[in-house]
Every structure is written in C-alpha cells, then in structure tokens.
Amino acid sequence: MYGIFSNDSSGPRMGYKHGDTILDLAAVASLGLFDTVSIHTAVFSQPALNDFIASGKTSWQAVGQRINQLLANNEAELDVVRAQVLLAASRATMHLPVRIGDYTDFYAGIHHAENVGRLFRPDGDPLLPNYRHMPVAYHGRSSSIVVSGTPIRRPNGQQLGPDGQPVFGPSRALDFELELGLIIGKSNPLGEPIPVDAAEEYIFGITLFNDWSARDIQRWEYQPLGPFLGKNFGSSLSAWVMPFADLEPFRVAGPAQEPAPLSYLQTGKDGHFNVALDVVLQPAGGSEVVISQSNARHLYWSFAQMIAHHTVNGCNLTIGDVLATGTISGSTPNSAGSLLELSYNGKQPLALPDNRHRTFLENGDRVTLRGWAGPIDKPVQLGDVTGQITPSPEPLAR
Ligand code: CA
C-alpha cells in the first residue's frame, strides 16, 4: 500500500507499507534502485501521491513489481542499505495520501439505505423509487477530509428540539459511517462519459473511509437538498491506499439487480469484492470492541457502475478525487455500518463491555474501521482508519 509519511530526518514523501515497516521510496529512488523502471523518480519525493498516480497504470505496475522484487529479494539488494530505506511504521507521521480534488459520497449500500429509510421515513417505502435504477450520490466537501488518526471535534449545529422548534448546540447524535473510498487514478475530459466496462481503469486504489455524521443536524437539514453541515465537519481517510489491482483475487458477483438497470449501467463483468469490514469502538479508558462486521460485497452498485453513472452526463473526474461508496451494512443487525442502525436511532442502546452502553458516540470514543480479504491466517489488509471524538467548541457568543 502506498502512503505519504514523514519522520525526524525528512519531510513528507512516498512510502510503501510492508507489514510493520515502511519502505522509503524516495530513498530507494535516490540510491538508484528504481533505475530499471521507466518513471520520473521525483514523484517519490512529493508530499502527495498525485504525481505518481498521474504517471499511469503501466508505471504503477512496473513500480509495484520492482517493490515486490526488492522486498522479496531483500537479503541481497536491500541488505546493505536496509537502515536507509526501511523504517518502523510506528516512527512515522502519516499525512493525507492524496491532494483531493473533489469528493462524492454515494449511497450504494442497499441495506443501509433501507434501514435509514425505515428510521427517517417510517410511513413510506424505505427505498425511494430511484434507488434500484441508479447509484445516487451527493457532492461532499473535500477540504474537511482528514487523514486517519486526526481527532474529530463534535460539531455544533441546528437540531429540532422536543417542542418542534430548532435549537443550537453540540450534536447529541454523532455517528460514524463504514465506507470504502475509491481514489481516482485517471481523468476524463469534460463532456466525455466513462463507459461502464472501462470504468475500473479509472481507479487507482482503495481506502477505508469514515463519513462521520451528526444525525440530529442531518435529520433537520437534509430535505430538500441533502446532507450539508451534518456531514462536512470531517471525514476520515486511511493513510494507506491499496492499489486496486491488489483486490483482483477477491472479485465476486454482486447482488442480483432487479429491475435490470438502464444499458449504460449494465456490464457482464463481476464488479464486487469480498472484503471483510469491521467497526471497532474503544471508549475512553476502555478496551476495543468489535461492534459490527460487514463486507464490501453487500454493496448494491459496483464501483464501475458508480463511475459510469457519475460521468454519464459528461461530468469530469480528476486524479485524486475520492468517491466514497456510502455506508456498507449487511442484512443482519450486527453487520450495520452506523450507530444509527445499530441502536435503532437511539431507541435500543448497544451494550458494550464494562456495563457501558452507546446510542451515539460520546466524547473520548475512538472508532476504527478495518478491512481485510483472503485467508484469516494470511489476510491482505486495507489501511485502517481511526479517529477519536473530542468535545465541541464553545458556541459562538452572540
Ligand atoms: Ca455517507
């Protein structure tokens, strides 16, 4: 997995995560160990992955092969320079891996959409009529996407009080959302849609993504224009980006899509991935507890369909854009990807060890999303994303 790190000896640069160590790619390049690869090695010294991503898929493959060769071969080639190129991951400071252009959040988890529909609109059909016809999404805010580990401050905002009048104050329904983030690896010109069968060519890599949500703010503001201040106070992206190609062994068929979508969303290729997803909650002073276990295969729409739909009107994607999937809940209560669902909108508190309970997040709570694929004794792991809740700021004086 690729990321941007710094340490005592040098500023932000590109690294490759290998177990508990980081291969310093800028150092590898400066020692001439990438000389056999056709790439402008200045990309490894940049404070974001964008220039490396822009070098194109052939370069990603060549660099990946060379890294595998170096790591497999480390007895020979790396041994004399080990101290110069390998460092303990625990000694590095991680930075946001990409310079994010735009951020779009889909709603492709059908179980989440149904659960939220039941909670927010109890008298209607849980799915709105368009849901099975297109991967719906909203445009989010990229400026408040932070790297894993950054504290998340409880937002203040308007909520509907018990008497039906709006009140202002700290959110009392702060939540997480278990999502994957796609890092876009190739741009399309404005006006030129990306066909669904070519769409995966536009994905550089995969991250875990937590779209923190203030449900009380969200519920009061979201109609008619959708999420705004209930979402844009912060979202967390993992520090490490898994190359999309690394997911290939875990490709599976998605759920049957009934009714069949319009032809621009139809593809004969399986576009889902069997990636296990865990949500871990750690209260202040408490131990970690897994509160949900889901899987990326529960998404209704595939990554390729999301990209095809996003661009079908000619909208242009840019290298470094983040497309988040939407909350990935499974079909069972213990696989829900948000506290909104796990606590039935606060009506059934979730029991934690040590006699603790949660409806929504409390100050000091740490939420960590984990993802892995393959055999349990030798998993391929996504980069974790974690964040701890800190108290809201004092509301502004009048
Ligand atoms: Ca979301």
- Write the CATH number for 50: 2.30.30.230
Q: What pLDDT does residue 396 have?
A: 65
Residues 229 and 181 grouped into a single domain: yes
**pLDDT tens by residue, 126-145:** 999 999 999 999 999 999 99
Ligand 1 centroid distance, CA of 109 (Å): 10
Q: Do 69 and 121 fall within a single domain?
A: no
User: Left if phi > 0, otherwise alpha if psi is -120 to 50, otherwise beta: which for 203?
Assistant: beta
Tens of pLDDT, residue by residue over 234-292, are: 999 999 999 999 999 999 999 999 999 999 999 999 999 999 999 999 999 999 999 99
Burial of 41 (0-12, 13-18, 19+ CB in 10 A): middle
- Overall domain count for the chain: 2
Tell me the per-residue pLDDT of 149-174, one tens digit each, with 9 for 90 and over: 999 999 999 999 999 999 999 999 99
**Rounded to an integer, what distance in angstroms lies between the CA atom of residue 391 and that of residue 363?**
6
Q: Is residue 302 part of a domain?
A: yes
Rounded to the nearest angstrom, the distance between the alpha carbon of 18 and the centre of ligand 1 is 30
Residues 14 and 45 in one domain: yes
Q: What is the pLDDT of residue 303?
A: 98
Centre of ligand 1 to C-alpha 210, Å, is: 8
Is the pLDDT confidence value at 75 over 70? no
Query: Is there a domain that residue 148 lies in?
Result: yes
Q: Please check whether residues 211 and 152 belong to one and the same domain.
A: yes
Choose one of 49, 72, 95: the last residue of a domain. Answer: 95
Of 95, 130, 165, the position where a domain reaches its end is: 95
Of the pLDDT bands very low, low, confident and very high (cuts 50, 70, 90), residue 394 is: confident
The verdict on 373 and 265 lying in the same domain is: yes
What's the CA-to-centroid distance between 360 and ligand 1, angstroms? 16
Which of 35, 62, 95 marks a domain boundary?
A: 95
Tell me the average pLDDT across 106-111. 97
Does 277 lie in the same domain as 170?
A: yes
Q: Is residue 398 part of a domain?
A: no
- Active-site positions read 112
- Residue 58: domain span: 2-95
Residue 145 shares a structural domain with residue 202:
yes
Q: Are residues 87 and 112 in the same domain?
A: no
Write the DSSP symbol of residue 109: B
Please report whether residue 397 resides in a domain. Answer: no
Specify whether 121 is located in the same domain as 62.
Answer: no
| Tens of pLDDT, residues 352-383 | 998 999 999 999 999 999 999 999 899 999 99
Q: What is the mean pLDDT of the chain?
A: 96
Report pLDDT for 120.
Answer: 83
The rounded distance, in Å, linking the Cα atoms of 349 and 337 is: 15
Structure tokens at 304: 């390729």
Give the mean model confidence (pLDDT) for residues 20-31. Answer: 97
Measured CA to CA, the distance from residue 64 to residue 68 in angstroms comes to 6
Q: Verify that 307 and 192 share a domain, yes or no.
A: yes
- The answer to pTM > 0.85 is yes
pLDDT reading at 74 higher than 90: no
